[in-house]
Amino acid sequence: MTNSVDNGLGASVVLVTGASGHLGRAICMGLARDGAIPALNGRNRAALEALAEELKHAGYDSLVVPGDVADQAAMAAALAQIDSTAKARGRRFDGLVNNAFAGTTEDIARDVPTLFAQAAAVNLGAVAYLTEAFAALPDKGPRSVVNIASMYGVVSPDPDLYPEGMEINPMHYGATKAGLLQLTRTLAVRLATRGVRVNAVVPGPFPNQSVQRNHPEFSARLANRTPMKRLGRAEEVYPPIRFLLRADASFVTGASIAVDGGWTAI
C-alpha cells in the first residue's frame, strides 16, 4: 500500500475493538495512514467489512476479526489469528486499543442492576481479559495498550445541558468509565515488568453525527460548555493514541490523557 506514512507504527498491527463506531473508525483511519495495519473488531461483521473496503479504497490494508469482546473464547482465537497474520507479514502485533463499550440510556424503565452488569462485563471485564491475554502472547517485545475512557469517568454529566425529553448520559456509563481509569492504572502496574504499557485516553464532547443532526440544541450546549467553545472532531482523538502506541512513549504507563477541549479542567 502506498498511501501510508510511517510515523513509528509502520511495522505494527494494532487491534481496535469497537472499530466501526464513531471514534473507532477515526482511530483505524489514523493507524492506517501512519503505516500500521488496523485489526478491525466488533460484533457487526458487515460494518467491519464496509470499513475494511473503505480503507482498501484509500490504499490501506486491514484485518477483519469480528467477535464479541465479552466472549473470551472468540477473542482468544482473534488474538491468535492476528498474531499469526502479523508474523506472516513481517510485522509485530504490538498494539491494542480497547474502544468497545456497552450501555444504553434506557436505565429508568429497565432493571438497573442488569444494565450495570452488562456494561461492566464489556467496559471492564472484557478489557481486563483482553489486555492480559494480549500481554501473554508469545512475542515478548514491547507492547502498548490504550483504553478509551470518557470525561464522564472523571466528572458527572450536567443535567442542565440536556433538553427536555432527552435521556441523560446513564449512570452505568460514567461509573464503568471511571472504573476503566482505575483498571488502566492497575494493569499498568501488573504488566510493567513484562514490557506492556497500559494508558488511557479520556475523550470529551465527541457526539456522533446522528446526535449532532438530531439534537442540535444539545450539541450547541455541549460546545458552549467546552472552554474551547466547540465540539471535538472524531479524528482529534487519534494523535494522543498514536503517541501512546509509539516507542516515543516508552516510559509512559498508567497515565490518562484528556482530549476534551478543557472540559475536565474546570
Burial class of residue 103, CB neighbours in 10 A (0-12, 13-18, 19+) = buried
Tell me the three cell numbers of residue 87: 508474523
Q: How far apart are alpha carbons 170 and 116 in whole angstroms?
A: 10
58-90 CB burial, b ≥16 within 10 A, e <16 = eebbbbbbbbbbbeeebbeebbeebbebbeeee
**Annotated catalytic residue: which of 60, 129, 152, 173?**
173
Return the C-alpha cell found at 139: 512475542
Q: Say which residues have a Cβ less than 8 Å from residue 248's Cβ, sequence separation at least 6.
A: 8
Cα–Cα dist 30/177, whole Å: 23
Cα distances from 157 to residues 8, 154, 204, 228, in angstroms, run 37, 10, 11, 18
* 173 carries an active-site annotation: yes
- Residue by residue, DSSP assigns 171-199 as HHHHHHHHHHHHHHHHHHHHHGGGTEEEE
The secondary element (H helix, E strand) that includes residue 72 is helix 72-88
Alpha helices in 110-170 (DSSP H): 112-120, 127-135
Of 231, 213, 214, which Cα lies nearest the Cα of 222? 231
261: left (phi over 0), alpha (psi -120 to 50) or beta: left
Q: Which residues form the catalytic set?
A: 173
